[in-house]
Amino acid sequence: MAKFSERSLIETILAPLSRNCPGAFGLGDDAALISPRSGYELVITKDALVAGVHFFPDDKPELVAAKALRVNLSDLYAKGAEPTCYLLSLFLPAIMSEDWLRAFADGLEAEQEKYSICLLGGDTVRTPGPFSLSVTMTGEMPEGKMVHRSGARPGDHIFVSGPIGDAALGLRVIRGELKVTEKKDADYLKRNYLLPDPDPELITSVRDFASAAMDISDGLAGDLTLLCAASRVTAQIEVDAIPLSSAVRHVVENRPERITAILTGGDDYKILCTIAPHHADAFIASCGGKMFRIGKIEAGQSSVKFIGRDGQNLSLNALSYRHF
């Protein structure tokens, strides 16, 4: 049984994470205070993680902490926002140890230093269920510059910010559902499921050039469908243009049907965005080669087409991961 009190958890483990946020008041008040810079607006996002659903109960606490923050960072980056601070709610089972929580806080601190964010406040409660947590993260951006899902137009080029499918296959490797003979490939895939890697260097490029954008969390096929629905358009994707890591290529080279899991599996946490044709070259240059063109937006509201090497449209039974 945990022997620490809620007060000691807040004062000794969590409060030090707020030291760079004046508006957090050392986690000693009932609420926090945020004042965006003049000419800027606040952008807010929220994600919840549950043991056994979004991470494994025996994952290292530092990795759980990092993933909790990075999935929120991914959302802000896709809007063109610079992250500033976050609220944290912890739902703690009675068996949770103080040592685990201190290691978790160490993981948060390392991420805060890496991404220049700090803890603003939150809540801690006891739960009879599995350990869960929720992060609400705020960011700033110049007024009127937020990139929505709804701005894509026919003719726009579609880009993604990195390899697709690593995490989806990594989860299958961890579960023992997929055998990968090369250890370096297996380790690479597992690491990409356990620890997303959003790229802050893309924030300005997305903000300056994207007509629409979102992060890929539930699968490229499903999330692109959501973006198209918001923009009242459709799209055609060239499957061979989708960037794949060498580890994923090794997995699919003799089993091409596995491309379905790559398109729909989720947990990529890459940026999906659309760029007007006359901005495409400037966008690519500004990203330093970190964005990959995979298709085009088209008029109409039919289903998104994924065209394979044979020129045929791939049939996808489920477009993305479903929570319900």
Q: How does pLDDT run along the chain (324 residues), one tens digit per residue?
A: 456 778 889 999 999 999 999 999 999 999 999 999 999 999 999 999 999 989 999 999 999 999 999 999 999 999 999 999 999 999 999 989 999 999 999 999 999 999 999 999 999 999 998 999 999 999 999 999 999 999 999 999 999 999 999 999 999 999 999 999 999 999 999 999 999 999 999 999 999 999 999 999 999 999 999 999 999 999 999 999 999 999 999 999 878 888 989 999 989 999 999 999 999 999 999 999 899 999 999 999 989 999 988 788 887 766 655 544
Alpha-carbon span 128 to 233, nearest angstrom = 45
Identify whether 279 is part of a domain: yes
Provide the pLDDT for residue 293. 98
Angle at 220 between CA 133 and CA 147, to 5 degrees: 75
Q: In the 8-state DSSP scheme, what is residue 226?
A: H
262 within some domain = yes
User: Residues 234, 304: contact at Cβ < 8 Å?
Assistant: yes
Query: Do 25 and 126 fall within a single domain?
Result: yes
Q: Are residues 14 and 97 in the same domain?
A: yes
- Supply the pLDDT for residue 324: 41
Would you say residue 320 lies in a domain?
Answer: no
Is there a single domain that holds both residue 18 and residue 113?
yes
Domain boundary among 119, 142, 165: 142
Task: Write down the pLDDT at residue 315.
Answer: 76
- Residue numbers of the domain that contains 113: 6-142
Q: Which residue among 121, 142, 163 closes a domain?
A: 142
- The answer on 265 and 169 residing in a single domain is yes
- Domain check: are 13 and 122 in the same one? yes
Same domain, 124 and 186: no
Q: Is residue 87 part of a domain?
A: yes
pLDDT computed for residue 2 by the predictor = 54
Model confidence pTM above 0.85: yes
Q: Per the domain annotation, does 299 fall within a domain? A: yes
In a domain, 318, yes or no: no
**Residue 248 C-beta-side C-alpha neighbours within 13 Å:** 26
- CATH number of the domain residue 223 falls in: 3.90.650.10
Co-location of 88 and 127 in the same domain: yes
Output the six-digit token pair for 77.
């980056």
Judgement on whether residues 134 and 155 belong to the same structural domain of the protein = no
Residues 232 and 288 in one domain: yes
The CB density around residue 259, as the number of other CB atoms within 10 Å, is 23
Q: Is residue 184 situated within a structural domain?
A: yes
Backbone dihedral region for residue 261 (phi beyond 0: left; psi -120 to 50: alpha; all else: beta): alpha
